[in-house]
Amino acid sequence: MSNWGNDFKDKVVIVTGAASGIGYETAMKFWEEGAKVLATDINYDACEKMAENKENMVALKVDMGNGDDIENMIDTAMDEFGDIDVLVNNAGINPFAPLVVQSEEDWDNVMNVNAKGLFLAVKEVIPIFIQKKKGNIINVTSIMSMVAGFGQMPYNASKGAAKLLTQGVAVDCAEYGIRCNAVAPGMVETGLTTNMFKDDQRRAWFVEKIPRSRIGKPEDIANAILFLASDKSDYVNGTTLVVDGGMIATRG
Protein backbone atom coordinates (compact mmCIF):
# COMPACT_ATOMS: atom_id res chain seq x y z
CA MET A 1 0.00 0.00 0.00
CA SER A 2 1.29 3.46 -0.89
CA ASN A 3 2.57 5.75 1.85
CA TRP A 4 1.60 8.81 -0.18
CA GLY A 5 -1.98 8.19 -1.29
CA ASN A 6 -2.58 10.04 -4.54
CA ASP A 7 -0.06 12.81 -3.81
CA PHE A 8 1.96 12.01 -6.93
CA LYS A 9 -0.65 10.51 -9.25
CA ASP A 10 -0.10 12.06 -12.70
CA LYS A 11 2.25 14.70 -11.26
CA VAL A 12 5.18 15.61 -13.51
CA VAL A 13 8.55 15.23 -11.81
CA ILE A 14 12.05 16.02 -13.09
CA VAL A 15 14.89 14.16 -11.38
CA THR A 16 18.46 15.11 -12.26
CA GLY A 17 21.35 12.72 -11.71
CA ALA A 18 18.87 9.86 -12.10
CA ALA A 19 21.20 7.24 -13.58
CA SER A 20 22.26 5.75 -10.25
CA GLY A 21 22.19 5.97 -6.48
CA ILE A 22 19.88 8.52 -4.86
CA GLY A 23 18.61 9.83 -8.20
CA TYR A 24 17.72 6.37 -9.46
CA GLU A 25 15.83 5.45 -6.29
CA THR A 26 14.03 8.79 -6.30
CA ALA A 27 12.95 8.56 -9.95
CA MET A 28 11.73 5.00 -9.46
CA LYS A 29 9.77 5.80 -6.30
CA PHE A 30 8.00 8.74 -7.95
CA TRP A 31 7.16 6.58 -10.97
CA GLU A 32 5.88 3.74 -8.77
CA GLU A 33 3.60 6.27 -7.09
CA GLY A 34 2.02 7.17 -10.43
CA ALA A 35 4.08 10.24 -11.36
CA LYS A 36 5.25 11.09 -14.85
CA VAL A 37 9.02 11.24 -14.62
CA LEU A 38 11.70 12.91 -16.72
CA ALA A 39 14.88 11.09 -15.64
CA THR A 40 18.00 13.03 -16.61
CA ASP A 41 21.71 12.39 -16.30
CA ILE A 42 24.92 12.92 -18.22
CA ASN A 43 24.97 9.09 -18.37
CA TYR A 44 22.13 8.76 -20.85
CA ASP A 45 22.51 5.02 -21.43
CA ALA A 46 21.74 4.20 -17.79
CA CYS A 47 18.72 6.52 -17.77
CA GLU A 48 17.46 5.05 -21.02
CA LYS A 49 17.74 1.53 -19.58
CA MET A 50 15.79 2.59 -16.49
CA ALA A 51 13.02 4.18 -18.58
CA GLU A 52 12.80 1.28 -21.03
CA ASN A 53 9.26 -0.15 -21.29
CA LYS A 54 7.98 2.24 -18.62
CA GLU A 55 4.99 4.31 -19.60
CA ASN A 56 5.28 7.89 -18.34
CA MET A 57 9.03 7.77 -17.81
CA VAL A 58 11.31 9.55 -20.29
CA ALA A 59 15.12 9.58 -20.27
CA LEU A 60 17.15 12.61 -21.32
CA LYS A 61 20.88 13.32 -21.44
CA VAL A 62 21.62 16.45 -19.42
CA ASP A 63 24.93 17.93 -18.35
CA MET A 64 24.06 20.14 -15.38
CA GLY A 65 27.14 22.22 -16.13
CA ASN A 66 25.63 23.21 -19.49
CA GLY A 67 22.97 25.93 -19.55
CA ASP A 68 21.60 24.84 -22.95
CA ASP A 69 21.08 21.30 -21.64
CA ILE A 70 19.18 22.64 -18.64
CA GLU A 71 16.92 24.80 -20.81
CA ASN A 72 16.26 21.77 -23.03
CA MET A 73 15.43 19.70 -19.93
CA ILE A 74 12.60 22.03 -18.96
CA ASP A 75 11.37 22.27 -22.56
CA THR A 76 11.40 18.48 -22.90
CA ALA A 77 9.32 17.98 -19.75
CA MET A 78 6.74 20.43 -21.09
CA ASP A 79 6.75 18.85 -24.55
CA GLU A 80 6.44 15.29 -23.21
CA PHE A 81 4.04 15.82 -20.33
CA GLY A 82 2.59 19.32 -20.72
CA ASP A 83 3.43 20.45 -17.20
CA ILE A 84 5.97 20.33 -14.34
CA ASP A 85 5.04 19.90 -10.69
CA VAL A 86 8.27 18.90 -8.95
CA LEU A 87 11.94 19.56 -9.70
CA VAL A 88 14.49 17.41 -7.85
CA ASN A 89 17.99 18.82 -8.24
CA ASN A 90 20.05 15.77 -7.33
CA ALA A 91 22.96 15.75 -9.80
CA GLY A 92 26.35 16.46 -8.29
CA ILE A 93 30.07 15.76 -8.55
CA ASN A 94 32.82 15.54 -5.96
CA PRO A 95 36.45 15.00 -7.03
CA PHE A 96 37.90 13.92 -3.66
CA ALA A 97 41.40 15.37 -3.39
CA PRO A 98 43.44 17.49 -0.97
CA LEU A 99 43.17 21.22 -1.59
CA VAL A 100 46.86 21.53 -2.49
CA VAL A 101 46.39 19.40 -5.61
CA GLN A 102 43.01 20.76 -6.70
CA SER A 103 43.02 23.11 -9.67
CA GLU A 104 40.98 26.10 -10.76
CA GLU A 105 39.35 23.78 -13.28
CA ASP A 106 38.31 21.40 -10.49
CA TRP A 107 36.69 24.31 -8.63
CA ASP A 108 34.88 25.54 -11.75
CA ASN A 109 33.57 22.07 -12.65
CA VAL A 110 32.18 21.41 -9.18
CA MET A 111 30.61 24.85 -8.83
CA ASN A 112 29.14 24.73 -12.34
CA VAL A 113 27.33 21.44 -11.71
CA ASN A 114 26.51 21.63 -8.00
CA ALA A 115 25.67 25.33 -7.66
CA LYS A 116 25.32 27.16 -10.96
CA GLY A 117 23.47 24.26 -12.61
CA LEU A 118 21.04 24.14 -9.72
CA PHE A 119 20.48 27.90 -9.99
CA LEU A 120 19.83 27.69 -13.73
CA ALA A 121 17.38 24.79 -13.34
CA VAL A 122 15.45 26.76 -10.73
CA LYS A 123 15.45 29.87 -12.95
CA GLU A 124 14.07 27.86 -15.89
CA VAL A 125 11.26 26.19 -13.97
CA ILE A 126 10.12 29.13 -11.83
CA PRO A 127 8.10 30.90 -14.60
CA ILE A 128 6.08 27.71 -15.09
CA PHE A 129 5.39 27.47 -11.38
CA ILE A 130 4.50 31.15 -11.11
CA GLN A 131 1.96 30.84 -13.91
CA LYS A 132 0.15 27.98 -12.17
CA LYS A 133 0.66 29.41 -8.63
CA LYS A 134 2.15 26.15 -7.43
CA GLY A 135 5.40 24.20 -7.59
CA ASN A 136 7.86 22.24 -5.53
CA ILE A 137 11.67 22.23 -5.66
CA ILE A 138 13.85 19.83 -3.67
CA ASN A 139 17.62 20.31 -3.76
CA VAL A 140 19.92 17.51 -2.67
CA THR A 141 22.72 19.12 -0.69
CA SER A 142 24.84 17.29 1.89
CA ILE A 143 25.86 17.40 5.53
CA MET A 144 29.06 18.74 3.93
CA SER A 145 27.10 21.98 3.45
CA MET A 146 27.27 22.36 7.25
CA VAL A 147 30.56 20.76 8.26
CA ALA A 148 33.82 20.43 6.34
CA GLY A 149 35.20 17.16 5.07
CA PHE A 150 38.83 16.48 4.17
CA GLY A 151 39.57 16.70 0.46
CA GLN A 152 36.18 18.20 -0.34
CA MET A 153 36.66 21.96 -0.26
CA PRO A 154 34.98 22.80 -3.60
CA TYR A 155 32.21 20.33 -2.77
CA ASN A 156 31.72 21.91 0.67
CA ALA A 157 31.48 25.34 -0.92
CA SER A 158 29.09 24.22 -3.65
CA LYS A 159 26.75 22.45 -1.25
CA GLY A 160 26.84 25.42 1.12
CA ALA A 161 25.78 27.57 -1.82
CA ALA A 162 22.98 25.12 -2.63
CA LYS A 163 21.72 25.24 0.95
CA LEU A 164 21.51 29.04 0.97
CA LEU A 165 20.04 29.10 -2.54
CA THR A 166 17.30 26.81 -1.21
CA GLN A 167 16.45 29.33 1.49
CA GLY A 168 16.61 32.25 -0.95
CA VAL A 169 14.21 30.60 -3.39
CA ALA A 170 11.82 29.77 -0.55
CA VAL A 171 11.75 33.40 0.57
CA ASP A 172 11.55 34.93 -2.91
CA CYS A 173 8.92 32.59 -4.31
CA ALA A 174 6.59 31.73 -1.43
CA GLU A 175 4.07 34.35 -2.57
CA TYR A 176 3.60 32.37 -5.80
CA GLY A 177 2.72 29.13 -4.03
CA ILE A 178 6.18 27.68 -4.60
CA ARG A 179 7.99 25.67 -1.95
CA CYS A 180 11.73 24.98 -1.97
CA ASN A 181 13.48 22.66 0.48
CA ALA A 182 16.67 20.63 0.64
CA VAL A 183 17.68 17.16 1.74
CA ALA A 184 21.17 16.83 3.22
CA PRO A 185 22.38 13.21 3.06
CA GLY A 186 25.13 11.92 5.30
CA MET A 187 27.21 8.89 4.38
CA VAL A 188 25.28 7.00 1.70
CA GLU A 189 26.25 4.07 -0.53
CA THR A 190 26.42 5.74 -3.96
CA GLY A 191 28.81 6.00 -6.88
CA LEU A 192 30.44 9.00 -5.20
CA THR A 193 31.33 6.97 -2.10
CA THR A 194 32.21 3.59 -3.63
CA ASN A 195 35.96 4.00 -3.22
CA MET A 196 35.57 5.38 0.29
CA PHE A 197 33.82 2.26 1.53
CA LYS A 198 36.01 -0.33 -0.23
CA ASP A 199 38.30 -0.55 2.76
CA ASP A 200 36.62 -2.41 5.65
CA GLN A 201 38.52 -0.47 8.30
CA ARG A 202 37.52 2.88 6.81
CA ARG A 203 33.91 1.74 6.53
CA ALA A 204 33.93 0.65 10.19
CA TRP A 205 35.39 4.04 11.15
CA PHE A 206 32.42 5.82 9.56
CA VAL A 207 29.84 3.43 11.00
CA GLU A 208 31.27 4.05 14.47
CA LYS A 209 30.55 7.77 14.06
CA ILE A 210 26.91 7.24 13.03
CA PRO A 211 24.51 6.80 15.97
CA ARG A 212 22.20 4.74 13.71
CA SER A 213 25.18 2.33 13.29
CA ARG A 214 24.94 1.87 9.53
CA ILE A 215 25.79 3.55 6.25
CA GLY A 216 22.76 5.12 4.58
CA LYS A 217 21.03 3.66 1.54
CA PRO A 218 19.78 5.64 -1.46
CA GLU A 219 16.19 4.78 -0.54
CA ASP A 220 16.66 6.53 2.82
CA ILE A 221 17.23 9.79 0.95
CA ALA A 222 14.58 9.11 -1.69
CA ASN A 223 11.95 8.66 1.03
CA ALA A 224 12.86 12.07 2.48
CA ILE A 225 12.63 13.66 -0.97
CA LEU A 226 9.15 12.22 -1.52
CA PHE A 227 8.08 13.53 1.87
CA LEU A 228 9.18 17.07 0.97
CA ALA A 229 7.44 16.77 -2.41
CA SER A 230 4.21 15.51 -0.86
CA ASP A 231 1.18 17.32 0.53
CA LYS A 232 2.18 16.03 3.98
CA SER A 233 4.95 18.65 4.09
CA ASP A 234 2.79 21.55 2.91
CA TYR A 235 3.97 23.85 5.73
CA VAL A 236 7.66 22.99 5.29
CA ASN A 237 9.52 25.64 3.30
CA GLY A 238 13.13 26.81 3.14
CA THR A 239 14.40 24.05 5.37
CA THR A 240 17.17 21.48 5.05
CA LEU A 241 16.17 18.01 6.18
CA VAL A 242 19.28 16.20 7.40
CA VAL A 243 19.18 12.45 6.69
CA ASP A 244 22.39 11.06 8.15
CA GLY A 245 21.56 8.58 10.88
CA GLY A 246 22.52 11.19 13.47
CA MET A 247 26.11 11.65 12.25
CA ILE A 248 26.07 15.45 12.28
CA ALA A 249 24.74 15.42 15.84
CA THR A 250 28.09 14.00 16.94
CA ARG A 251 30.00 16.98 15.52
CA GLY A 252 28.99 19.33 18.31
Residues with a known catalytic role: 155
Distance CA 23, CA 91 (A): 8
Q: What is the CA radius of gyration of the chain?
A: 17
Strand order in the sheet with 86-89: 57-61, 36-41, 12-15, 86-89, 135-140, 178-185, 240-243
The half-sphere exposure of 143 on its side-chain side, counting CA atoms within 13 A, is 18
- Cα of first residue to Cα of last residue in the chain, in angstroms, is 39
Distance CA 238, CA 179 (A): 7
Distance CA 222, CA 230 (A): 12
Distance CA 54, CA 7 (A): 20
CB-based contact 226:33 (threshold 8 Å): yes
Q: Where are the beta strands (DSSP E) in 21-163?
A: 36-41, 57-61, 86-89, 135-140
Q: Which contiguous run of DSSP H or E holds residue 122?
A: helix 117-132
